[in-house]
């Protein structure tokens, strides 16, 4: 069993196709691991009676690229007849009548659902402490957060509870937990993967993406999920599809370091690993240059107006009438109020109120309108930067994983964890986080993973994955969390 669990997704799928590994044995090994979850990474795993056989998996293709691979699914994706809560009490027990496009496409490629992973409620958070079902623990140090909002997916992969997973990224919710857990996380271009069946947070920002042990596995999942979908008018897909990355060096590529996303608030260990990674780029033949993103420093301010505003509109549907939690009351308005008060957590309520205020009469142009202008400026900054560099690079997170409870009383400090990831989300461009090394937190403590973020022009996933693959090989990060850390 241990040998099976050590296989990458690419290797396992190939060995299953070749008949060297029985797909049933491989799936059973992972289901046993998921059932033994000690990180609170899963909100649902199938018991023996509710698990589908290989033949029953909808659209299962035994010749597909993910033949026989069980994938952990963030609990933000609708899965037919399987609980989908978005980490919230207001959807506790909700079982959708359909399956999201991203999950259906994974199944069509031969994958199966391993379980539904824990997350910050409605994807609102950077630590996974906002889940209504308790925080996920970081497998590197169970006293620390795994990052969020896709913390359950990241912890499951890093902790050996899943071979790979999918999550969602609105302002960094794939990349940041990937960095804090020492794995690969990719936010594709907005529109590369259908959002149909993803519970909406901020519709103009939400994007599905993979979390995996390495860049090759991330590319496999992206290739299976990407493409246009008539159920999502914003989905375009990636022209030419996604091939397995194979680049051996970085010769001829220019990597831009934005001076505006400087060292303020960055831990010393993170800075050191980032500088070492820039040197590794040079060793592999790449060029490191300065890039200019004049408006990127305003990204956090703009994001925390735009995202809550869209959340305010999207979450209005949870009213106790159509589905989910319902608290009966004397009249309709009181029923709305009591249901939402009981069903939504503190962070969700905070963002709904922020967004509603930003959209209210007399404040719309001052807040929401201005934030949209900043977003346009940031997108333009990236387009200009990509005229002189191939990629923009930053640390993924300004710190390594912090202790549980360290920032829960300071929302602004929590929001600043997304400082390096938000600009790419606002611009709608692809970005990947790869593990670059280990560093101690400021103040001392055990060494923890540091992520390195690479961003590319819109729909430049092929070039991005190739560069990330070459750098991944050059870094040679192979550290794993110790059992029971």
Q: Which residues carry out catalysis?
A: 74, 149, 173
d(CA 467, CA 457): 13
Three-class DSSP category at 173:
coil
d(CA 343, CA 325): 7
d(CA 315, CA 201): 8
Between 215-225 and 461-475, two packed helices, what is the crossing angle to 10 degrees?
160
Three-class DSSP category at 291:
strand
Chain centroid, CA 53 distance in Å: 28
Q: How many CA atoms lie within 13 A of 13 on its CB side?
A: 23
Buried b (16+ CB within 10 A) or exposed e, 84-115: bbbbbbbbeebebeebbbbbbbbbbbbbbbbb
Helices (H) and strands (E) in the chain, counts: 15, 11
Q: Are 371 and 244 in contact (CB under 8 A)?
A: no
Instruction: State both tokens at 466.
Output: 């190739």
Alpha-carbon radius of gyration of the chain: 21
Q: Are 222 and 210 in contact (CB under 8 A)?
A: yes
């Amino acid at each position: 069993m241990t040998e099976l669990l050590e296989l990458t997704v690419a290797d396992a799928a190939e060995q299953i196709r070749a008949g060297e590994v029985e797909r049933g044995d491989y799936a059973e090994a992972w289901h046993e691991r998921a059932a033994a979850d000690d990180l609170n990474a899963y909100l649902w795993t199938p018991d023996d009676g509710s698990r589908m056989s290989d033949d029953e998996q909808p659209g299962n293709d035994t010749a597909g690229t993910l033949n026989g691979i069980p994938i952990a699914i963030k609990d933000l994706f609708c899965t037919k007849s399987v609980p989908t809560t978005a980490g919230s009490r207001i959807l506790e027990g909700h079982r959708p009548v359909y399956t999201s496009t991203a999950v259906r496409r994974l199944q069509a490629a031969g994958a199966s659902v391993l379980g539904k992973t824990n997350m910050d409620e409605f994807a609102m958070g950077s630590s996974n402490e906002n889940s209504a079902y308790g925080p996920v623990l970081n497998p590197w140090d169970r006293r620390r957060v795994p990052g969020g909002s896709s913390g359950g997916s990241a912890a499951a992969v890093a902790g050996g509870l899943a071979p790979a997973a999918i999550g969602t990224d609105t302002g960094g919710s794939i990349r940041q937990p990937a960095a804090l857990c020492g794995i690969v996380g990719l936010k594709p271009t907005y529109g590369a993967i259908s959002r149909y069946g993803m519970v909406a947070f901020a519709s103009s920002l939400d994007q599905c993406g993979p979390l995996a042990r390495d860049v090759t596995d991330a590319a496999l999942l992206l290739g299976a999920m990407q493409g246009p979908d008539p159920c999502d008018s914003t989905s375009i897909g990636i022209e030419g599809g996604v091939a397995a990355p194979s680049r051996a060096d970085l010769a001829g590529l220019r990597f831009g370091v934005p001076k505006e996303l400087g060292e303020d608030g960055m831990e010393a260990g993170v800075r050191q690993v980032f500088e070492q990674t820039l040197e590794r780029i040079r060793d592999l033949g790449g060029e490191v240059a300065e890039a200019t993103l004049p408006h990127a420093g305003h990204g956090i301010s703009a994001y925390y107006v735009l995202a809550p505003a869209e959340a305010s509109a999207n979450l209005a549907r949870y009213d106790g009438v159509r589905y989910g939690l319902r608290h009966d009351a004397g009249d309709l308005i009181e029923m709305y109020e009591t249901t939402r008060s009981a069903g939504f957590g503190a962070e969700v309520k905070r963002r709904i109120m922020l967004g509603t205020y930003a959209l209210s009469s007399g404040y719309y142009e001052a807040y929401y309108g201005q934030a949209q202008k900043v977003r346009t400026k940031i997108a333009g900054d990236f387009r200009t930067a990509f005229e002189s560099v191939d990629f923009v690079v930053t640390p993924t997170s300004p710190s390594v994983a912090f202790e549980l409870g360290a920032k829960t009383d300071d929302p602004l400090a929590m929001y600043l964890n997304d400082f390096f990831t938000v600009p790419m989300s606002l611009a709608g461009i692809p970005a990947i986080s790869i593990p670059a090394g280990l560093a101690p937190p400021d103040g001392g403590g055990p060494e923890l993973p540091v992520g390195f973020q690479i961003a590319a022009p819109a729909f430049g996933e092929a070039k991005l994955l190739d560069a990330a693959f070459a750098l991944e090989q050059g870094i040679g990060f192979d550290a794993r969390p110790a059992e029971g850390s």
